């Protein structure tokens, strides 16, 4: 055949159609040079991967476009954003009445609303993933990211309006968009895995609800319950040449003198549980964009300080100065890893159970 290289010495099955199907249905009729040996890899792998990715993008777009054409989808997005904004405004007003923050209503609402967007991203991600299950994990990730982008687009004008009116850090709005897209995609895999675990819908809904409840509330509640058990005695020396940031937190110090016993809370032992909370994860990312002297900056950086352990609050533990401390691991990465790990476990279990059901049905039939 013209344009198809001959393969002398091969069996007659070399050019059978099924080999083209394994290659993804792509026919490369360009002559190759330097091809020799039975174990040589055809140089069309990159082209196949690109075509497979483009195909996945096309399927994901068509799937997401079905959601975009539904008024219920946009109502869900608007309701989620309104819930985040209303909760943030109510919480800030309550804090103002109690004198916990100064009169900075728009600025504080902007920051808290950006953080609270993690809630609708997680809940809607599970719901959308449950309703849109595909064989390809890549398609589900891309479709979830597109839906997350739609949710972020609805929220972005309100964030920008609050940020501009209060002079807040607009980069926080950009960080919120990125995290919302990621959260919808990851929680979408949890929803899809929950649906695949059961033949009936009701048990799948129950599993998806349990997962969403744990990540949105249960992990923080468990962390709070375990905190009292982290208190312990440790040895510390005397800090000197102490430096602090604008929020009054200790950033650098040197240690002198002999060691003495102090009581510390090893919050790092349990803080990783709360790291997977979608709002706290978003807060940890946003802490990089909010000035330390902001009235609610401590809310954003609190989980990172807890994950760093008692050395943040009690300097010179073990007589070690700040230069000798190990670099802090971004708690947001820990949270995203935990979310992704559980999503992968649930999705893998769902696919295995689904394949067993198909096998059982085929045998019984």
- What are the pLDDT digits (tens) for 264-320? 888 888 999 999 999 999 999 998 888 877 778 878 888 888 888 887 778 888 888
With 0-12 / 13-18 / 19 or more C-beta atoms within 10 angstroms meaning exposed / middle / buried, residue 195 is buried
> For 112-135, what is each residue's pLDDT tens digit?
999 999 999 999 999 999 999 888
Q: Report d(CA 344, CA 339) in Å as an integer.
A: 9
pLDDT at 68: 95
Q: How many residues does the chain have?
A: 365
Confidence band for 231, pLDDT divided at 50, 70 and 90: confident
Q: Report d(CA 76, CA 119) in Å as an integer.
A: 13
Which of these, 237, 215, 218, lies nearest to 282 by C-alpha position?
Answer: 215
Q: Is 49 helix (H, G, I), strand (E, B) or coil?
A: helix
With 0-12 / 13-18 / 19 or more C-beta atoms within 10 angstroms meaning exposed / middle / buried, residue 311 is buried
> For 307-361, what is each residue's pLDDT tens digit?
888 877 788 888 888 777 777 788 999 999 999 999 999 999 999 998 888 887 6
Mean pLDDT of 257-268: 85
pTM for this structure?
Answer: 0.81
State yes or no: pLDDT of 145 exceeds 80: yes
Mean pLDDT is lowest, of 96-100, 182-186, 221-225, 231-235, for 96-100
CB neighbourhood size of 340 (10 A): 16
Q: Report d(CA 338, CA 234) in Å as an integer.
A: 30
> For 62-113, what is each residue's pLDDT tens digit?
999 999 999 999 999 999 999 999 999 999 889 888 877 776 778 888 999 9
Looking at per-residue confidence, does 362 or 299 come out higher?
299
Q: Report d(CA 166, CA 295) in Å as an integer.
A: 13
State yes or no: pLDDT of 9 exceeds 80: no
Q: Is 314 helix (H, G, I), strand (E, B) or coil?
A: coil
pLDDT at 108: 86
Which of these, 253, 247, 208, 244, lies nearest to 343 by C-alpha position?
Answer: 208
Mean pLDDT of 241-263: 80
pLDDT at 253: 85
């Amino acid at each position: 055949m013209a344009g198809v290289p001959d393969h002398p010495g091969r069996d007659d099955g070399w050019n059978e159609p099924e080999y083209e199907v394994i290659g993804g249905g792509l026919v490369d009729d360009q002559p190759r040079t330097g091809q020799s040996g039975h174990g040589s890899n055809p140089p069309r792998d990159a082209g196949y991967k690109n075509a497979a990715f483009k195909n996945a993008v096309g399927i994901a777009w068509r799937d997401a476009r079905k959601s975009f054409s539904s008024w219920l989808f946009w109502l869900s997005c608007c309701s989620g954003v309104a819930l985040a904004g209303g909760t943030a405004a109510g919480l800030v007003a309550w804090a103002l009445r109690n004198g916990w923050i100064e009169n900075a209503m728009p600025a504080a609402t902007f920051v808290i609303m950006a953080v609270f967007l993690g809630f609708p991203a997680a809940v809607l991600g599970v719901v959308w993933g449950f309703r849109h299950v595909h064989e390809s994990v890549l398609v589900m990730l891309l479709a979830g990211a597109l839906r997350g982008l739609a949710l972020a687009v609805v929220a972005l004008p309100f964030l920008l309006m609050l940020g501009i009116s209060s002079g807040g850090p607009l980069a926080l709005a950009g960080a919120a968009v990125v995290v919302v897209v990621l959260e919808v995609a990851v929680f979408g895999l949890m929803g899809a895995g929950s649906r695949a675990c059961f033949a009936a819908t009701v048990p799948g809904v129950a599993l998806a609800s349990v997962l969403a409840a744990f990540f949105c509330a249960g992990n923080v509640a468990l962390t709070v319950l375990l905190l009292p058990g982290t208190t312990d005695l440790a040895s510390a020396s005397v800090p000197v040449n102490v430096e602090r940031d604008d929020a009054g937190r200790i950033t650098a110090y040197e240690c002198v003198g002999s060691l003495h016993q102090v009581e510390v809370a090893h919050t790092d032992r349990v803080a990783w549980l709360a790291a997977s909370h979608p709002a706290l994860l978003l807060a940890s990312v946003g802490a990089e964009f909010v000035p330390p002297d902001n009235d609610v900056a401590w809310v954003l950086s609190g989980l990172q300080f807890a994950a760093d352990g008692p050395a943040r609050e009690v300097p010179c533990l073990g007589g070690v100065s700040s230069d000798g401390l190990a670099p802090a691991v971004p708690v947001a990465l820990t949270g995203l890893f935990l979310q992704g790990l559980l999503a992968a476990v649930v999705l893998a279990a769902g696919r295995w159970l689904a394949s067993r059901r198909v096998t059982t049905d085929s045998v019984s039939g």
